[in-house]
Amino acid sequence: MRLKFVAPLLPTLVDKPPEGDAWIHEVKFDGYRFQMIIDQYGTRIYTRRGLDWTAKYRDIVAASAKLGAEKAIIDGEIIVLNQAGLSDFSELRKAITRRQHDLYFVAFDLLHLNGHDLRDMALEERREILESMIPPNIRIQFSQALPGDAKAIYHLVDKGGLEGMVSKRRDSKYRSGRSTAWLKIKSYEINEYDLLGVEREPGKPAFALMADRATGQYVGSAFINSRGAIRDRLRKRVQEHAGPAPKGMKRPATQWVKPGLVGRVKYLRGEEDLRHASLQDFREE
């Protein structure tokens, strides 16, 4: 029987890692989530939404023969490493079309093996089987659990410039869809962006609209704390620097400003645009 794609289990985003021995912790890789299916029809690789992208990953498909499985469904992520040895999302998109030899499939869960549905087994047991299947030095690697206390792990992940960590209940079953049995804890970065304007809607928090300093491209909005000196200073500066809307941007609730205000923004690492972002401060250039 031909194995079918299984909708993935999706972790819930939280602010801090869970405490206690009931959890294992892994690095959150900065790549694309994929599912590898092996059966008598060959190896197929599916995106998170179930699209067949097998043709894009020839080297990883070839490496799957070394797993020694007649049938398997493996959950994982395809990544590429940068010169610092960290997974790099911007480099990944280039590697998919130009540098297949730089791609790795990092496996972190096993849903099916040789005719057996493993989703009702405890996560820790599924991972033990998965780890035993993967030989060294191939394009498919096992996502090792990180040893130590959750807070210490998060500190090291953050300082090391990684996107974040994923904490999973050791005894959890695999259930498709969003779950609190898996938690993702992301690291934050702080960077400077050009401030385009401030969006204020009745009954809602105010947001600063930000643009990339090099390209001028809009990258998202950052929450403005409703209390404190930053809010008051910013309101005054926005009134003094009022300007026209950037070309192509239509947001009626926004007070636009002339170029020259630069915002310092804290945001989630590893995202293409600003997410969970907050304005820390701003300056005039």
Q: What is the pLDDT of residues 160-177, one digit of tens each?
A: 878 899 999 999 999 999
CA distance 104 to 217: 31
Query: Does residue 21 share a domain with residue 107?
Result: yes
Query: Does residue 26 share a domain with residue 106?
Result: yes
The domain tally of the chain equals 2
Query: Does residue 172 share a domain with residue 64?
Result: yes
Query: Does residue 60 share a domain with residue 38?
Result: yes
> Mind listing the pLDDT tens digit for each residue in 197-225?
999 888 888 899 999 998 989 999 999 87
State which residues form the domain around 140.
Answer: 9-186
Determine how β-strand 188-199 pairs with β-strand 207-211: antiparallel
From 186, 217, 243, the end of a domain falls on: 186
Query: Does residue 201 share a domain with residue 119?
Result: no
Judge whether 52 lies within some domain: yes
Quickly list DSSP for 170-238. TT----SEEEEEEEEEE-EEEEEEEEEEEE--TTS--EEEEE-TTT--EEEEEE--SSSHHHHHHHHHH
Catalytic residues: 28
Judge whether 112 lies within some domain: yes
> Mind listing the pLDDT tens digit for each residue in 245-272?
888 888 888 889 998 899 999 888 877 7
168 close to 26: Cβ distance less than 8 angstroms: yes
Query: Does residue 179 share a domain with residue 44?
Result: yes
Average pLDDT, the chain: 89
Judge whether 180 lies within some domain: yes
CA distance 180 to 213: 37
Bridge partners (DSSP) listed for residue 34: 47, 76
> Mind listing the pLDDT tens digit for each residue in 27-46?
998 888 999 999 999 999 99
Judge whether 2 lies within some domain: no
Examine the pLDDT at 84 and tell me if it is beyond 60.
no
From 186, 214, 229, the end of a domain falls on: 186
pTM of the model: 0.77
